[in-house]
Each structure stands twice: as C-alpha cells, then as structure tokens.
Amino acid sequence: MLSKRIIPCLDVHAGRTTKGVKFKNNVDIGDPVEMARMYYEGGADELVFYDITASHENRDIMIDVVRRVAETIFIPFSVGGGIRTLEDMRQVLLAGAEKVSVNSAAVRNPDIIARGAAAFGSQCIVLGMDVKKVEKSEKIPSGYEIVINGGRQYMGMDALAWALEAQALGAGEICLNSIDADGTKDGYELTLTELIATRVNIPVIASGGAGTPVHLKDVLTAGKADAALIASMVHYGTYTVAGIKQYLADQGVRVRQTW
Amino acid sequence: MIAVIDYDAGNLTSVSRALTHIEVENAVTSDRDIIAAADRIIFPGVGAAGSAMKSLVRLGLDQVIRQAVADGKPVLGICLGTQIILGFSRENQTPCLGIVDGTVASFSEVFAASGIKGLKIPHMGWNRIQMKIAHPVFAGIDESDEFYFVHGFFPQPKDEAQVLATTDYGIDFPSVIGSGNLVATQFHPEKSGPPGLMMLKNFSRWQPC
C-alpha cells in the first residue's frame, strides 16, 4: 500500500527561501539548500520548490539552487515557477529535479503539458492549479475557477474540466492549491480536493491552508488527497515533519516512518 | 568503478549523484569499452520501453549488457532498466533483452482483469518491500523501510525463484528480481533516501558467488 506523502514547499526568491501570505509580503527565512537538507533528514517524502522571482536574470540562480539541492538530498523534488518552455523544463530536470511543475504557462498554452510529457515522460510533469471558489455557472459548473497571478486574474476555466484536460494531455500529477485557503492556516479546501482527487486518475497533492496536523489528516482521508503540501507549519518550527507523521500514523493514515 | 549506462532514457545524473554522495566511483557512459572495463554496471532508465529498446540497439548496448551478465559482473537494474531485462514488455508491445525469462505486465490491464478499482496509475510514491529471499544487496534493510516508486508496468519473471521481493499495490507485484550476479529493482534506490543509499552501497561491495 502506498504511503501518503508529506511535502514541504519552499518559495525561493533570488536564491533564498521566503514565505508570504497570499503571494505577498515575502520575508527571508533561510537557505533553500540547508532547508532541503533539514527536511530530507527529518523525513520529508518529497520537496517542492517554487521560483517566485521567475525573472530571466534570476533563472541561473535558481538552476544553481536546484543543482546544489540535487547533490544534497536523495528523495524526489519538483521545481515550479516561471517554467514556460521545453527548454526551461530541460534545464531544471538536467540540474537534478525529478519533476517540473507548470501553472499559468499551461493555462495560457495547454500544449506545453503534452510536449513536456512527450519529451520527458508524464511522471515529470506536474500541473499546478490555483483555484478560487465561485458561484456555480454554465461556464464554471464545479463552482471552482482557475486563477493566475496569485489569484488576481480569473481565467473563466472550470477547475475540474481543466484537471481532466491536463490529465488527458499527459500531466502525471496535480498540485491543487486553493487560493481561498492559502495562508489562512484554517485547513485545506476539502470539498475542492475531494472533487478533483476522486475524478482524476493521477495523484493529487493538496495545497493551501495547512495549520495543524489535523488538517493533514482531514485532507488525506476525507479529502482523498494522495499527498499534502505544507509550508509555514514546519518552516517556523511549530511542527516537525516527523511529529506530523507520528500523529497521522496514530490516526491510522499510512505514512513512511523510517528514513 | 561502476558504469551507469547512458542510453538516452531519462535523468541518469541522479543515480550518479547518489553514488558520488556515498563515495563510490562511477561514470555515466554509453561507451562500450568503458562499460566492458567497469567492475560493475548499473542499468537505470525512465521512460517508455519502446524508445528505450531502440536506443539500446542503436548504441549497440544490448549486447554489452547481455555480455556483462554472462561474464558474471554484478549488474543492478533500476526501474525501466529492470523491465527491459525481461523478454517482452506489454508497454508498446516491445521485445526486450530476454536476460530474465518473463514479461513486463501493465497495472491497468491487471487491475481491469481482476476488477481492482480506485488505484491510481502510475504507482507513484513510497511503498514497502517484502523480501522473499534474503539478499546481500538488501543487508541492513528493514521491512518497515520504504522506497520510491513511479511506474505503470512491473516485471513478472517466469521463474518464481527470481522474485526476490514483492510490493503491495492492489496486488503483490515483483519489486525486486534477479538471480546470480543480477539484481534489479522496480523502485528508485537513488531517490529512496538512506535505505536506497544503503542498498547502492551494498551493491558497490557485493561479490556474487
């Protein structure tokens, strides 16, 4: 039986880890390579890095971070943020990332998913989805709409329809982020997560809203997520990955407990 | 020196980085002479069986791998490399190396035939292995240790005795196979944290009898 994965997420700005709420007010919280080592040694199942600068002059800094992380940790990790072309993907994968994640670039140009999957394999291509709850309508039947630019721009796309389309195009996994829940520490968006996770055949990583281990249990059981993304819960030492896993195991959630 | 065979099948640098981390001399190469001169061989791979077999044949590496196994050199297969060692893969209906008698089966076909529903494909993430036969390459590995898998197909040797370990994903599928100087894992030791690194270290010292 597969273990549920616990995945710390690091936002990287110009080579440093930062944390902001709803994509704003970013503060420096450390060296991404050192943090990667700490999470690797502490039992994280996988890591996610988002390059939140994603400007071209910072591209090389990020690739260097990816290379150093790959020399330091021996678990899978994905890199997202500013991935727009096959060449962007190739650079990140060659630097040692296991997966690349595409978000707004795929919304604007879904073909990047198909071309990425054909070039590097579906297992490498993660679709990042930023989602907001809206009124159900003919255009948005699920009541969840795709947004970009940190939630500022509504795309008129239904989240469930987009998840299914991305799967058909060759995405190997979905990282599902609720913009409404992100940064609140009030828990994951369970209805959204369950909706997507039970309708696609690829793994779904739930993202946004984690504040306590109970939230992880809820999203991995009721929410049917395959994995849970965490950030501030562990970045400030409030919880440890090992502590969260112990709680989940005690609650009957299968997690990896030896490393 | 361990030769990590490069045949355009995915990101092989991660295997090399893991070996370097545990201070095992290695080279990622498609050079037949270097491979022939190596003490041990790792045959990794990510991707699809069809294109991987084409690359192997084009580079003349199919014979090199057969020869290494025949010569008694320690050989470690990983993921797609493990599958290609068998005779035939259901993925792209591909004839493979045939070093181990058997086929590569598809989770989706097996699940459909046995009415197993609700399991995602690929099998992606951490899972345990149940050793059937103690093996020096798995010395020090505990049954609670987990390994990182990502695959939609799995090896099915004809001879049950060649199944060294199984893993539970709807069915108990062979996750480590081998005999003699060959051992092959469906999971990625290079991405499996300390137990994976320990396994690679064991392989680097293994003297098959």
Q: What is chain A's pLDDT, residue by residue, as a tens digit (259 residues)?
A: 999 999 999 999 888 998 765 455 667 888 999 999 999 999 999 999 999 875 666 788 899 999 999 999 999 999 999 899 999 999 999 999 999 999 999 999 999 999 999 888 899 999 999 999 999 999 999 999 999 988 899 999 999 999 999 999 999 999 999 999 998 999 999 999 999 999 999 999 999 999 999 999 999 999 999 999 999 999 999 999 999 999 999 999 999 999 9
A60 is catalytic: no
Q: What is the largest CA-CA distance in chain B?
A: 49
Strands B94-95 and B88-89: antiparallel
Tell me: pLDDT of B151 over 90.
yes
Asked if A3 reaches chain B (Cβ–Cβ under 8 Å), the answer is yes
| Cα separation values, A228 from A47, A209, B66, B178, Å | 11, 10, 43, 35
> Are A171 and A147 within 8 A, CB to CB?
no
How many distinct helices (H) and strands (E) make up chain A? 10, 12
Could you give the percent of chain B with pLDDT greater than 90? 90
The CA distance from A28 to B128, in Å, is: 37
Which of A93-107, A163-177, B38-52, B137-151 has the lowest average pLDDT? B38-52
> Are B197 and B21 within 8 A, CB to CB?
yes
pLDDT of residue A43: 98
The CA distance from A21 to A146, in Å, is: 19
First and final CA of chain B: distance in angstroms? Answer: 19
**Three-state SS at A21:** strand
Report residue A222 as tokens: 């009721």
> Are A52 and A130 within 8 A, CB to CB?
no
Q: Partners of B91 in the beta sheet?
A: none
**Considering its fold, how many domains does chain B have in total?**
1
Report residue A194 as tokens: 């369950």
CATH no. for residue B9?
3.40.50.880
- Quickly list H helices, chain B: 13-21, 32-37, 49-58, 61-71, 80-84, 107-114, 193-205
> Are A49 and A66 within 8 A, CB to CB?
yes
pLDDT of residue B209: 80
pLDDT in tens, B66-97: 999 999 999 999 999 999 999 999 998 999 99
Flag if B192 and A75 touch (Cβ within 8 Å).
Answer: yes
The CA distance from A98 to A118, in Å, is: 16
Phi, psi for residue A128 in degrees, rounded to 5 = -90, 130
| Chain B interface residues (partner A, CB cutoff 8 A) | 10-11, 13-14, 17-18, 20-21, 46-48, 120-127, 142, 144-146, 148, 150, 168-169, 190-197
Active site residues of B: 79, 188, 190
Mean pLDDT to the nearest integer, B170-178:
97
Strands B102-106 and A227-230: unpaired
The CA distance from B7 to B59, in Å, is: 7
The CA distance from A85 to A88, in Å, is: 5
Domain A5-250: give its CATH code: 3.20.20.70
Give the CA angle between residues A244, B189, B80 to the nearest 5°. 120
A11 is catalytic: yes
pLDDT of residue A24: 58
Flag if B48 and A2 touch (Cβ within 8 Å).
Answer: no
Domain with B60, as residue range(s), is: 2-205
| Average pLDDT score, chain B | 95
Tell me: pLDDT of B11 over 70.
no
When scoring B6, B8, B11, B168 by the number of chain A Cβ atoms within 10 A, the one with the most, hence best to mutate, is B11
Q: Which residue of A has its CA nearest to B119?
A: A201
Q: Partners of A28 in the beta sheet?
A: A18
pTM, entire model: 0.95
CA distance A26 to chain B (A): 31
pLDDT in tens, B154-168: 999 999 999 999 999
Report residue B108 as tokens: 């989706």
Q: What is the value of ipTM here, to two decimals?
A: 0.94
CA distance A70 to chain B (A): 7
When scoring A37, A126, A256 by the number of chain B Cβ atoms within 10 A, the one with the most, hence best to mutate, is A256
Counting one residue from chain A and one from chain B, the pairs whose CB atoms sit within 8 A come to 84
Q: How many C-beta atoms surround the C-beta of residue A162 within 10 A?
A: 23
